[in-house]
Amino acid sequence: MLKFTKRTAKKAGTAPGTLVHVGEKKTDQIHITVTDYDIDHVVEESIVAVEESFRSKETATKTWINIDGIHDVDMIRKIGHQFTIHPLILEDIVNSGQRPKAEEFDNYVYFVFKMLYYDEAQQEIRSEQISLILGALFLFSFQEMKGDVFDVVRERIRQGKGRIRKAGCDYLAYALIDAVVDHYFLILEKLGEKIEGIEEALLDEPRPDTVQQIHEMKRELIYMRKQIWPFREMINNIQKGEYNLVEDATMIFFKDVYDHCIQVIDTIESYRDVLSGMLDLYLSTISNRMNEVMKVLTIIATIFIPLSFLAGVYGMNFEFMPELHWKWGYFVLWATMFGIIIAMLTYFKRKKWL
Amino acid sequence: MLKFTKRTAKKAGTAPGTLVHVGEKKTDQIHITVTDYDIDHVVEESIVAVEESFRSKETATKTWINIDGIHDVDMIRKIGHQFTIHPLILEDIVNSGQRPKAEEFDNYVYFVFKMLYYDEAQQEIRSEQISLILGALFLFSFQEMKGDVFDVVRERIRQGKGRIRKAGCDYLAYALIDAVVDHYFLILEKLGEKIEGIEEALLDEPRPDTVQQIHEMKRELIYMRKQIWPFREMINNIQKGEYNLVEDATMIFFKDVYDHCIQVIDTIESYRDVLSGMLDLYLSTISNRMNEVMKVLTIIATIFIPLSFLAGVYGMNFEFMPELHWKWGYFVLWATMFGIIIAMLTYFKRKKWL
Amino acid sequence: MLKFTKRTAKKAGTAPGTLVHVGEKKTDQIHITVTDYDIDHVVEESIVAVEESFRSKETATKTWINIDGIHDVDMIRKIGHQFTIHPLILEDIVNSGQRPKAEEFDNYVYFVFKMLYYDEAQQEIRSEQISLILGALFLFSFQEMKGDVFDVVRERIRQGKGRIRKAGCDYLAYALIDAVVDHYFLILEKLGEKIEGIEEALLDEPRPDTVQQIHEMKRELIYMRKQIWPFREMINNIQKGEYNLVEDATMIFFKDVYDHCIQVIDTIESYRDVLSGMLDLYLSTISNRMNEVMKVLTIIATIFIPLSFLAGVYGMNFEFMPELHWKWGYFVLWATMFGIIIAMLTYFKRKKWL
Amino acid sequence: MLKFTKRTAKKAGTAPGTLVHVGEKKTDQIHITVTDYDIDHVVEESIVAVEESFRSKETATKTWINIDGIHDVDMIRKIGHQFTIHPLILEDIVNSGQRPKAEEFDNYVYFVFKMLYYDEAQQEIRSEQISLILGALFLFSFQEMKGDVFDVVRERIRQGKGRIRKAGCDYLAYALIDAVVDHYFLILEKLGEKIEGIEEALLDEPRPDTVQQIHEMKRELIYMRKQIWPFREMINNIQKGEYNLVEDATMIFFKDVYDHCIQVIDTIESYRDVLSGMLDLYLSTISNRMNEVMKVLTIIATIFIPLSFLAGVYGMNFEFMPELHWKWGYFVLWATMFGIIIAMLTYFKRKKWL
Amino acid sequence: MLKFTKRTAKKAGTAPGTLVHVGEKKTDQIHITVTDYDIDHVVEESIVAVEESFRSKETATKTWINIDGIHDVDMIRKIGHQFTIHPLILEDIVNSGQRPKAEEFDNYVYFVFKMLYYDEAQQEIRSEQISLILGALFLFSFQEMKGDVFDVVRERIRQGKGRIRKAGCDYLAYALIDAVVDHYFLILEKLGEKIEGIEEALLDEPRPDTVQQIHEMKRELIYMRKQIWPFREMINNIQKGEYNLVEDATMIFFKDVYDHCIQVIDTIESYRDVLSGMLDLYLSTISNRMNEVMKVLTIIATIFIPLSFLAGVYGMNFEFMPELHWKWGYFVLWATMFGIIIAMLTYFKRKKWL
Lowest mean pLDDT among A27-31, B84-88, C231-235, E39-43: A27-31
Going by C-alpha positions, the residue among B228, C283, E132 that lies closest to residue D279 is C283
Are C243 and C102 a contacting pair, CB within 8 Å? Answer: yes
Q: What pLDDT does residue C329 have?
A: 87
Helix (H, G, I), strand (E, B), or coil: what is residue E344?
A: helix
Quick one: E310 and E278 in the same domain? no
Q: Show Cβ contacts of residue D141 under 8 Å, excluding neighbours closer than 6 positions.
A: D64, D65, D66, D67, D130, D131, D132, D150, D176
d(CA B272, CA C1): 12
Q: Do B9 and A278 touch (CB under 8 A)?
A: no
Q: How far apart are CA C143 and CA C115, in angstroms?
A: 9
Domain boundary among C284, C308, C323: C284
pLDDT, position B20: 81
Return the closest-CA partner of residue A85 out of A69, A71, A106: A106
What is the pLDDT confidence band of residue E170, given thresholds at 50, 70 and 90? very high
Same domain? For D171 and D33 the reply is yes
Query: Which residues from chain E sit within 8 angstroms of residue A206, using beta carbons?
Result: none
Q: Which of A143, A134, A128, A67 is nearest to A103 (CA)?
A: A134
- Give the pLDDT confidence of B89-147 residue by residue, as tens digits: 999 999 888 889 999 998 899 999 999 988 888 888 888 999 999 998 899 999 988 87
**Where do runs of H (alpha helix) occur along chain A?**
73-82, 87-94, 151-159, 169-204, 208-239, 248-313, 329-350
Q: Is A86:A105 a contact under the CB 8 Å cutoff? A: yes
Give the single-character DSSP code of C95: B
DSSP helix/strand/coil, C344: helix
Strands B138-143 and B109-119, sheet pairing: unpaired
State which of C256, C284, C312 marks the end of a domain: C284
Q: End-to-end distance of chain C based on CA atoms, in angstroms?
A: 47
Nearest residue, CB atoms, D262 vs list E5, E99, E287:
E99
| pLDDT tens-digit series, residues D218-263 | 989 999 999 999 999 999 999 888 898 999 889 889 999 999 999 9
Closest chain D C-alpha to E244 CA, distance in angstroms: 18
pLDDT of the residue at E229: 92
pLDDT digits (tens, 9 = 90+) for D25-59: 777 788 899 999 988 889 998 988 888 888 777 78
The answer on B181 and B330 residing in a single domain is no
Does any domain span residue D191? yes
Q: B211 and A280: CB-CB below 8 Å?
A: yes
For the purposes of burial, counting CB atoms within 10 Å of the CB of E58, is it exposed (0-12), middle (13-18) or buried (19 or more)?
exposed
Q: Give exposure, D27-44, as e/b (b: 16+ Cβ within 10 Å).
A: eeebebbbbbbeeeebee
Instruction: Read off the pLDDT of residues A298-321 as tens digits, 9 standing for 90 and up.
Output: 898 889 999 999 999 988 888 888
pLDDT in tens, D215-224: 889 989 999 9
Q: Do E290 and D294 touch (CB under 8 A)?
A: yes
Gap from D196 CA to chain C (nearest CA, Å): 19
Q: Is C163 helix (H, G, I), strand (E, B) or coil?
A: coil
Residue of D nearest to E227 (CA): D266
In total, how many domains does chain A have?
Answer: 2
- Same domain for A152 and A55, yes or no, is yes
- Count CB atoms within 10 A of the CB of residue A74: 9
- Taking only the tens place, the pLDDT of each residue in D259-315 is 999 999 999 999 998 898 888 888 888 888 888 888 888 898 889 999 999 899 988
Q: What does the pLDDT look like over C259-312, one tens digit per residue?
A: 999 999 999 999 998 898 888 888 888 888 888 888 888 898 889 999 999 899
How does residue B28 score in pLDDT terms, banded at 50, 70 and 90?
A: confident
Looking at the structure, do residues B45 and B149 belong to the same domain, yes or no?
yes
CA of C112 vs chain B CAs: smallest distance (Å): 12
Nearest to A256 among B88, B219, B315 (CB): B88
Last residue of a domain, one of C284, C313, C331: C284
Instruction: List, edge to edge, every strand of the sheet that includes E31-37.
Output: E42-47, E31-37, E62-68, E138-143, E124-134, E109-119, E101-104
- Each residue's pLDDT tens digit, C140-198: 999 988 878 898 899 889 988 778 888 899 999 999 999 999 999 999 999 999 999 99
* C-alpha–C-alpha distance, residues B275 and B217, integer Å: 8
ipTM reported for the complex, 2 dp:
0.80
Within 10 angstroms of residue C57's Cβ, the number of other Cβ atoms is 12
Q: Is the pLDDT of residue B10 over 60?
A: no
Does a structural domain hold residue B136?
Answer: yes
Other C-beta atoms lying within 10 Å of the C-beta of residue D197: 12
pLDDT score of B11: 60
Helix axes C248-313, C169-204, angle to 10 degrees: 10
CA distance A111 to chain E (A): 14
Does residue E183 register a pLDDT over 70? yes
Cβ atoms of C110 and C133 within 8 Å: the answer is: yes
Q: State residue A71's pLDDT score.
A: 85
Residue C9, pLDDT above cutoff 50: no
Is E300 part of any domain? yes
What residue spans of E242-353 are helical by DSSP H? 248-313, 322-325, 329-350
The region of weakest confidence among A71-85, A161-175, D198-212 is D198-212
The pLDDT of residue A9 is above 50: no
Percent of chain B whose pLDDT exceeds 90:
33
Query: Torsion angle of alpha carbons E19, E22, E28, E31, nearest 10°?
Result: -60
- Say if CB E27 and CB E55 are below 8 A apart: no
For residue E22, list its beta bridge partners.
Answer: E95
Nearest to A325 among E196, E295, E319 (CB): E319
The yes-or-no verdict on residue B7 having pLDDT over 70 is: no
Q: Tell me the C-alpha to C-alpha distance, in Å, between residue D333 and each of B309, D296, D325, E307.
A: 21, 25, 13, 18
> Which range has the top average pLDDT, A124-128, B295-299, D129-133?
D129-133
B1 domain-assigned? no
What pLDDT is recorded for position B294?
87
Q: Do D192 and E1 touch (CB under 8 A)?
A: yes
In chain D, residues with a C-beta closer than 8 Å to the C-beta of C297 are 297
- Give yes or no: residues E145 and E53 share one domain: yes
Give the model's pLDDT for residue D4: 67
Q: How many angstroms separate the CA atoms of E317 and D132, rounded?
A: 93
Compute how many other C-beta atoms are within 10 angstroms of the C-beta atom of residue B14: 16
**8 Å CB contact of C297 and D297:** yes
| pLDDT tens by residue, A227-265 | 999 999 999 999 888 898 999 889 889 999 999 999 999
Could you tell me the CATH number of the domain that includes residue B207? 3.30.460.20
Please report the pLDDT score of residue D5 as a whole number. Answer: 61
Answer yes or no: do A328 and A220 share one domain.
no
| Cβ–Cβ < 8 Å for B131, B93 | yes
The residue length of chain D stands at 354
Q: Do A313 and B312 touch (CB under 8 A)?
A: no
* 3-class state of residue E142 by DSSP: strand
The reported pLDDT for the residue numbered B9 is: 45
Q: Residue A222 and residue D354: Cα distance in Å, rounded?
A: 38
Amino acid at B88: L
Give pLDDT, residue B13.
Answer: 63
Asked whether the beta carbons of residue C192 and residue D1 sit closer than 8 angstroms, the reply is yes
Q: What kind and span of H or E run contains B292? A: helix B248-313
Backbone dihedral region for residue E23 (phi beyond 0: left; psi -120 to 50: alpha; all else: beta) = left
The verdict on residue C261 lying in a domain is: yes
Q: Given pLDDT bands bounded at 50, 70 and 90, which one contains residue E102?
A: very high
Neighboring chains of E (3 or more beta-carbon pairs < 8 A): A, D
Confidence of residue D121 (pLDDT cuts 50, 70, 90): confident
A228 and A330 belong to one structural domain? no
DSSP code string of B146-181: --STTHHHHHHHHHT-TTTTTS-HHHHHHHHHHHHH
User: Which chain A residues are Cβ-neighbours of B290 within 8 angstroms?
Assistant: 287, 290-291, 294
CATH (domain of D342)? 1.20.58.340
**Do D184 and D325 reside in the same domain of the chain?**
no
Are the C-beta atoms of residues D235 and D251 closer than 8 Å to each other?
Answer: no
At D176, give phi and psi (nearest 5°). -65, -45
Question: What's the CA gap between B141 and B173, in Å, rounded?
Answer: 9
List pLDDT tens digits, range E224-283. 998 999 999 999 999 888 898 999 889 989 999 999 999 999 999 999 988 988 888 888
Do residue B141 and residue B247 come from a single domain? yes
Taking alpha carbons only, the member of B107, B142, B140, B130 closest to residue B245 is B107
Residues of E with CB below 8 A from A208's CB? 284-285, 288
What is the 8-class DSSP label of residue B45?
Answer: E
SS3 for chain D is: CHHHCCCCCCCCCCCCCCCCCECCCCCCCCEEEEEEECCCCEEEEEECCHHHHHHHHCCCCEEEEEEECCCCHHHHHHHHHHCCCCHHHHHHHHECCCCCEEEECCCCEEEEEEEEEEECCCCEEEEEEEEEEECCCEEEEEECCCCCCCHHHHHHHHHCCCCCCCCCHHHHHHHHHHHHHHHHHHHHHHHHHHHHHHHHHHHHCCCHHHHHHHHHHHHHHHHHHHHHHHHHHHHHHHHCCCCCCCCHHHHHHHHHHHHHHHHHHHHHHHHHHHHHHHHHHHHHHHHHHHHHHHHHHHHHHHHHHHHHHHHHHCCCCCCCCHHHHCCCHHHHHHHHHHHHHHHHHHHHHHCCCC
Q: What is the 8-class DSSP label of residue A1?
A: -
Picking from E214, E291, E316, E351 by the largest number of A CB atoms within 10 A of its own CB, the best residue to mutate is: E316
Q: Which domain holds residue B55?
A: 14-284
Q: Is the pTM of this model over 0.80?
A: yes
Q: Residue A301: CB partners within 8 Å, gap ≥ 6?
A: B297, B300, B301, E301, E305
CA–CA–CA angle C262, C265, C268 (5° rounding): 150
Distance of alpha carbon C9 from alpha carbon C26, whole angstroms: 19
- CA–CA separation, B342 and C68 (whole Å): 66
Q: What is the pLDDT of residues E2-30, one digit of tens each?
A: 566 655 444 666 777 778 887 777 777 88
Residue-level pLDDT at E60: 84
DSSP E62: E
Query: Is pLDDT above 70 for C27?
Result: yes
Instruction: Specify the higher pLDDT residue, A17 or B146.
Output: B146
Considering the domain architecture, whether residues A124 and A166 belong to the same structural domain is answered as yes
How far C293 CA lies from chain B's nearest CA (Å)?
A: 7
Decide if D259 is inside a domain.
yes
Q: Is the pLDDT of residue D80 over 80?
A: yes
Which pLDDT value is given to residue B177?
94
Range A208-223 average pLDDT: 88
The answer to the question of residue C161 being in a domain is yes
Q: Which of D312, E305, E308, B306 is nearest to C337 (CA)?
A: B306
Which residues in chain C touch residue D329, judged by CB atoms under 8 angstroms apart?
Answer: 318-320
How close is the nearest chain A Cα to the Cα of B114, in Å?
A: 14
What lies within 8 Å, CB to CB, of E250 at 6+ separation is E167, E168, E170, E171, E174
Task: Please write the tens of the pLDDT for every residue from E322-335.
Answer: 888 888 888 889 99
What pLDDT is recorded for position B180? 93
Residue B273 lies in a domain: yes
Chain A residues in contact with B218 by the CB 8 A cut-off are: 273, 277
Exposure string over B283-302, b if 16+ CB within 10 A, otherwise e: bbbbbbbbbbbbbbbbbbbb
Residues A31 and A71 in one domain: yes
Q: Give the chain B residue whose CA is nearest to the CA of A149.
A: B13
**Mean pLDDT (whole number) for C245-258:** 90
